[in-house]
């Protein structure tokens, strides 16, 4: 299904819109319309009327604003790094703008660079106006994806479609002002909005009925155009002097309603000394017109909204003020393309996940089998008498426990009553005169350990000597003898090494 994009150009006197249908490389203009602005304070009703005439289905929208709402500056900075330019630019603009930078949204493009730094074209718009502009569009049911300077977008397309990279001037003439755009080596390097002399407004010299521009006083009109051409020449001279740019325009492109005024083109050619051509974006091959649109198409009115509608195919443009706090709210599933892309990505992710799990399972299974074989080999090598191996780990643990277990259990009573004999021997050798309290006595196959307390270190030595006289003990040793801090007692431990037959 073809995707549609609407371009809405809001000038000082006129609303104009173009709807473009895009299917692959086939771009067609399917509708166009204009609505006069009667009340500049609130254009919600006029916007609603324009959208209704265009039969817009609510898809992509690009909004263009007149240059009268922007502050334009050409600046030079001693940097070529984009990061440094972004950091320094707000401070540099503080000296050039009347309204504080914090209350404006600004954007910049690099017009040229050299060893000394970068030359920039900067445009700024007040946040209050931009917020009002977006709210007005929203009240009319419009949510633009981009907000641009209309003349910049038109000039940008004309630069791309220019003849062999020739420099040119674009003059966009409204009833109340003239916009000057300078294109140098397929780059826009200078832009200014120039107002007509006051007499044009007080005498209502120009009027527009939707088809042609009428002139109430030809002499006043000619004088106004002469005056503007002089200002244009002066502006170019100052720009060339400040930038050092070798600017030599080859021709002038006229756009906007004023190109429909009688004698306008001739005066501009005469004053600027350059040949003038009339803009016609459609003839550059940007888009084709359907039959119904061709009958009402007027390039002077629809070139700017057409250039805006064509922006829908570009992901990024140089001057887009729909950013920062005014950025378009993102929607995960805002279009069919996004839904299809999400479904495709989910399918690929599932396929990759299942593939990884299958590969990982096979790898672990092979590793497990290899380890099981190694365990069987170790078990058979350790216990060659085993004929049946089921669980080598469990069987090996059982065998190890058997090996580590005592080979002979200590009987409580034997024919010689061994333990009772040892106790009787110890008791008989220690006289009652020695104060001793036994807290622990451990007898195993080879040793006897006696832990207890007495009242003197000499008693410990005496007990050792008395027990050493017994033939039952191969060796008698004092393991420890320390004085207790809590009581006036001596803690001791004596180890008796038993004879084999004792």
Asked if residues 258 and 175 have their Cβ atoms less than 8 Å apart, the reply is: yes
pLDDT one-digit tens code per residue, 358-401: 888 999 999 988 888 888 888 788 777 777 888 888 888 887 77
DSSP state of 275: -
State the pairing for strand pair 213-215/206-208. Answer: antiparallel
How many other C-beta atoms are found inside a 10 Å radius of the C-beta of residue 171? 27
Alpha-helix runs per DSSP H in 383-435:
392-404, 418-429
Vertex 438: Cα angle to 436 and 439 (nearest 5):
135
- Residue 421's contacts (CB-CB under 8 Å, 6 or more residues apart) are 472, 502
CA-CA-CA-CA torsion sign (326, 332, 337, 341): positive
Cα 196 to the center of its chain, rounded Å = 46
Tokens of 168: 């040119």
Gap between the terminal Cα atoms of the chain: 105
Kindly provide the residue ranges of all beta strands, DSSP E only, lying in 140-232, ordered along the sequence. Answer: 146-149, 168-173, 177-184, 187-195, 206-208, 213-215
What's the chain's Rg over C-alpha atoms?
Answer: 49
| pLDDT at 243 (0 to 100) | 85
Residue 109 vs residues 112, 127, 189, 214: alpha-carbon distances, Å = 9, 20, 9, 38
Sheet of 436-443, strands arranged across? 436-443, 447-454, 490-498, 473-483
DSSP state of 68: G
| pLDDT at 332 (0 to 100) | 54
Residues of the chain with pLDDT under 50: 407-415
Scanning the structure block, which residue is given the tokens 């009688």?
A: 262
- Helices 127-139 and 44-54: angle between axes, nearest 10 degrees: 50
| pLDDT at 233 (0 to 100) | 94
Q: In this structure, what are the phi and psi dihedrals at residue 379, rounded to the nearest 5 degrees?
A: -65, -45
Q: Tell me, yes or no, if the pTM score tops 0.75.
A: no
Residues in the chain, total: 502
- Cα–Cα distance between 491 and 94 in angstroms, integer? 88
| pLDDT at 412 (0 to 100) | 45
CA-CA-CA-CA torsion sign (223, 228, 233, 238): positive
How many other C-beta atoms are found inside a 10 Å radius of the C-beta of residue 489? 17
CA-CA-CA-CA torsion sign (24, 26, 31, 33): positive
- Cα–Cα distance between 116 and 109 in angstroms, integer? 17
Scanning the structure block, which residue is given the tokens 């790898």?
A: 363
- Residue 192's contacts (CB-CB under 8 Å, 6 or more residues apart) are 72, 179, 180, 235
- Cα–Cα distance between 348 and 187 in angstroms, integer? 42
At 223 the three-state DSSP class reads helix
How many other C-beta atoms are found inside a 10 Å radius of the C-beta of residue 212? 13
Residue 20 vs residues 7, 307, 333: alpha-carbon distances, Å = 8, 10, 22
Asked if residues 320 and 24 have their Cβ atoms less than 8 Å apart, the reply is: no
């Amino acid at each position: 299904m073809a995707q549609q994009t609407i371009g809405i150009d809001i000038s000082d006197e006129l609303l104009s819109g173009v709807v473009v249908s895009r299917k692959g490389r086939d771009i067609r203009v399917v509708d166009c319309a204009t609505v006069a602005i009667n009340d500049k304070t609130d254009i919600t009703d006029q916007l609603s009327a324009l959208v209704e005439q265009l039969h817009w289905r609510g898809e992509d929208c690009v909004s263009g604003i007149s240059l009268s709402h922007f502050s334009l500056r050409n600046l030079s900075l001693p940097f070529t790094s984009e990061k440094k330019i972004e950091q320094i630019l707000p401070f540099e603009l503080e000296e050039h703008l009347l309204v504080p930078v914090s209350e404006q949204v600004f954007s910049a493009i690099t017009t040229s660079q050299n060893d000394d730094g970068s030359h920039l074209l900067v445009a700024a718009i007040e946040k209050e106006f931009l917020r009002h502009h977006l709210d007005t569009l929203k009240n009319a049911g419009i949510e633009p994806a981009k907000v641009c300077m209309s003349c910049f977008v038109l000039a940008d397309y004309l630069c791309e479609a220019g003849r062999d990279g020739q420099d040119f001037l674009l003059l966009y003439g409204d009833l109340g002002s003239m916009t000057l755009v300078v294109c140098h080596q397929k780059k826009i390097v200078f832009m200014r909005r120039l107002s007509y002399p006051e007499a044009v407004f007080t005498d209502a010299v120009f009027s527009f009925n939707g088809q042609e521009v009428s002139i109430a006083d030809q002499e006043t009109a000619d004088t106004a155009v002469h005056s503007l051409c002089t200002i244009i020449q002066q502006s170019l001279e100052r720009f060339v002097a400040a930038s050092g740019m070798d600017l030599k325009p080859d021709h002038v492109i006229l756009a906007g309603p004023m190109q429909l005024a009688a004698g306008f083109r001739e005066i501009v050619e005469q004053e600027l000394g350059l040949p003038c051509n009339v803009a016609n974006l459609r003839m550059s091959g940007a888009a084709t017109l359907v039959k119904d649109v061709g009958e009402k198409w007027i390039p002077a009115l629809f070139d700017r909204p057409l250039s805006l509608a064509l922006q829908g195919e570009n992901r990024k443009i140089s001057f887009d003020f729909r950013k920062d706090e005014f950025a378009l709210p993102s929607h995960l599933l805002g279009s069919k393309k996004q839904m299809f892309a999400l479904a495709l990505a989910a399918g690929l992710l599932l396929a990759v996940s299942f593939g990884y799990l299958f590969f990982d399972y096979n790898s672990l299974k092979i590793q497990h089998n290899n380890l099981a074989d190694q365990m069987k080999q170790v078990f058979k090598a350790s216990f060659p008498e085993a004929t049946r191996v089921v669980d080598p780990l469990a069987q090996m643990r059982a065998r190890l426990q058997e090996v580590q277990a005592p080979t002979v259990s200590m009987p409580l009573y034997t024919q010689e009553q061994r333990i009772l004999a040892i106790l009787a021997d110890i008791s008989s050798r220690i006289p009652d005169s020695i104060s001793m309290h036994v807290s622990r006595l451990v007898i195993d196959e080879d040793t006897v350990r006696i832990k207890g307390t007495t009242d003197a270190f000499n008693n410990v030595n005496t007990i050792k000597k008395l027990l050493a006289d017994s033939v039952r003990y191969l060796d008698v040793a004092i393991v420890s003898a320390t004085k207790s801090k809590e009581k006036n007692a001596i803690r001791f431990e004596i180890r008796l090494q038993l004879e084999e037959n004792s």
